[in-house]
Structure 1
Amino acid sequence: MEEILSTYLTELPIGFKGYIVGYDKIFGGYQGKLLSMGLSPGTEFILVCQASNNWPLIIEVDGNLLKLYKPEADALCIE
């Protein structure tokens, strides 16, 4: 699979495996919620599903499926 670098989950193909590298300062209010979901820097994820109009997104982290809505997904900086 070719390497894709992006800051937005919606730009990634289903099945993409990436890492969380931080949080967007604009959406900083979501950092606590994301941390409580286990989405800390260094966490590996797989993009499992994009529902209609791209929301919600579903990612897999450590065998668990997590549903993310636009503000949560946009707050993640990924690679």
Structure 2
Amino acid sequence: MALLITEECINCDLCPAECPNEAISMGDDVYQINAARCTECVGHYDEPNCMAVCPVECIEKDPAHNETLDQLAEKYAAMYA
């Protein structure tokens, strides 16, 4: 499942630098996560780095992009093949 940044985001600028897949960019009002690039850090870390550094805990699983760990691993492998 890709991740989603909610409207509670304070644009602290911490998460984009922590994303190894470069999936986070500035949206109209708050940062956004590109679901096609988000692997929840599978292939890189044990947990999503963006969630770990977020001071307001505004990053959550995106129910619109439900993926298993195997699917996230396949996405990672395809991006870094």
TM-score (norm 2): 0.38
Which one has a larger percent helix, Structure 1 or Structure 2?
1
Which one has a larger percent strand, Structure 1 or Structure 2?
1
Q: Which one has the largest radius of gyration?
A: 2
